[in-house]
Amino acid sequence: MEIKAAIVKEKSGRFSVETVTLSDPRPDEVLVRIVGSGVCHTDLVVRDQYVPIPLPIVLGHEGAGVVESVGRDVTRFRKGDRVVLSYHSCGHCPSCEEGAPAYCDHLMANNFSGKRVDGSPSITLAGKEISANFFQQSSFATHALATSRNVVKVPDSVSLEDLPLYGPFGCGIQTGAGAVLNTLNPRAGTSIVVFGAGSVGLSAVMAARLAGCTTIVAVDLNQARLDLALTLGATHVVNGKADDPVDFVRSITGGRGADYSLETTAVPRVLRQSVECLHARGVCGSIGLPPAGTEVTLDMLSILFGRTLRGIIEGDSVPTIFINRLIALHQQGRFPVDRIMTHYRFDEINKAVEETEKGHAIKAVLHME
């Protein structure tokens, strides 16, 4: 079928909305009419070729939409289901079978190859194959092919009008919230420092409030985002331009340091601060995505005396479970993630990207309809 898709044709290039041809769904695939998709940092690092998937490519991996049709082997979904699309996992490797699909042995191959799982293409432009199947969806388009492994049915209480704002739950939102609720799992009354007040970091701030943390520090260079963090659950904020975050955290914890920290920026010196602001047995979660080969230096004694540095993918989330838990919290008004979202028409995708990169938009959401 012919669909509209946003294509990047050259490194760091603009998105061009064009007509492409999408393959029919195979027996194990789900065809989804996309109504909205979040713009994520990961889309932009692939555009910039930090992760070198061949160009041209159709990106997008925070899609939300309505099932149009399913392949004959698909039994969990049917036409008309409202769904959110997330990352793909194989379902049969040791990590998947142990309940940790975010660490699937085939995560990179199945989400970053630009092809279907079997290596075949799904989109052509003017008769020529181009990269797609990003996170097995490529949701910067009016329609996307996905699989039963990365489609999440959402409650019938979610209106079609509200569905686009849940697209980002498929990656960025679940990454920040899950890093707190699933991985760090802080005890009530403890302290946490979140480095970076973007969509991932602010999701973590909101999750920390849900978890009962009583000291929640947000660190950023953008004062407007810090001001917003205070309304979303942060008890303290630090502007890294003016203050040293490590000294500040020590000052408000009686010199002891924080129980937990979360690094979302992928800046090496910030990761070091995230470790150094902890007390002796504190835990730092690292979720920023740097260019391949980025190195960081640490004082080995800071680790030797009990601190933990833990990498986290997709918030350690099992999407079919965790995304619907977050939706329920949002519907109850306890997880007000809509407050960090800015909405754009699909044909405004370059404006959405530009305002994201300038820091004007925290979480840009594209509306296809």
Phi, psi values for residue 116, rounded to 5°: -60, 170
Domain assignment present for residue 320? The answer is no
Domain assignment present for residue 330? The answer is no
Are 240 and 356 in the same domain? Answer: no
Question: How much is the pLDDT for 53?
Answer: 92
DSSP class of residue 246 equals: H
Are 229 and 148 in the same domain? Answer: no
Instruction: Tell me the whole-structure pTM to 2 decimals.
Output: 0.95
Q: Give me the sign of the Cα torsion angle 260, 264, 266, 270.
A: negative
Per DSSP, the three-state class of 321 is helix
Are 165 and 21 in the same domain? Answer: yes
Q: At what angle do helices 223-232 and 199-211 cross, to 10 degrees?
A: 30
Are 129 and 260 in the same domain? Answer: no
Are 230 and 248 in the same domain? Answer: yes
Domain assignment present for residue 254? The answer is yes
Domain assignment present for residue 317? The answer is no
Domain assignment present for residue 326? The answer is no
Query: Shortest CA distance to 283 belongs to which of 215, 188, 184?
Result: 184
How far is 248 from 327, CA to CA, in rounded Å?
Answer: 34
Are 119 and 6 in the same domain? Answer: yes
Please name the residues in contact with 281: beta carbons below 8 A apart, sequence gap of 6 or more.
306, 307, 308
Per-residue pLDDT for the chain (369 aa), expressed as one digit of tens each? Answer: 999 999 999 999 999 999 999 999 999 999 999 999 999 999 999 999 988 899 999 999 999 999 999 999 999 999 999 999 999 999 999 999 999 999 999 999 999 999 999 999 999 999 999 999 999 999 999 999 999 999 999 999 999 999 999 999 999 999 999 999 999 999 999 999 999 999 999 999 999 999 999 999 999 999 999 999 999 999 999 999 999 999 999 999 999 999 999 999 999 999 999 999 999 999 999 998 888 788 999 999 888 889 999 999 999 999 999 999 999 999 999 999 999 999 999 999 999 999 999 999 999 999 998
Query: Shortest CA distance to 259 belongs to which of 187, 177, 335, 364?
Result: 187
Are 308 and 341 in the same domain? Answer: no
Are 87 and 143 in the same domain? Answer: yes
CATH of the domain at 235: 3.40.50.720
**Beta strand pairing call for 15-22 and 215-220:** unpaired
Please name the residues in contact with 65: beta carbons below 8 A apart, sequence gap of 6 or more.
32, 33, 34, 35, 36, 82, 83, 85, 139, 144, 163, 368
Question: How much is the pLDDT for 292?
Answer: 79
For the chain, the 3-state helix, strand and coil shares in percent, each to the nearest 5, are 35, 25, 40
Give how many domains the chain has, as a whole number.
2
Question: How much is the pLDDT for 2?
Answer: 96
* Token code pair at residue 187: 């005890």
Domain assignment present for residue 329? The answer is no
CATH of the domain at 45: 3.90.180.10
Are 202 and 160 in the same domain? Answer: no
Domain that holds residue 254: 176-312
Are 206 and 145 in the same domain? Answer: no
163 with 36: CB under 8 angstroms?
A: yes
Domain assignment present for residue 322? The answer is no
* Token code pair at residue 88: 């793909």
The answer for 59, left when phi > 0, alpha when psi is -120 to 50, beta otherwise, is beta
* Token code pair at residue 260: 């937990």
Question: How much is the pLDDT for 174?
Answer: 97
62 with 135: CB under 8 angstroms?
A: no
Are 247 and 117 in the same domain? Answer: no
DSSP class of residue 141 equals: B
Domain assignment present for residue 122? The answer is yes
Are 31 and 147 in the same domain? Answer: yes
Q: Give me the sign of the Cα torsion angle 12, 18, 21, 27.
A: positive
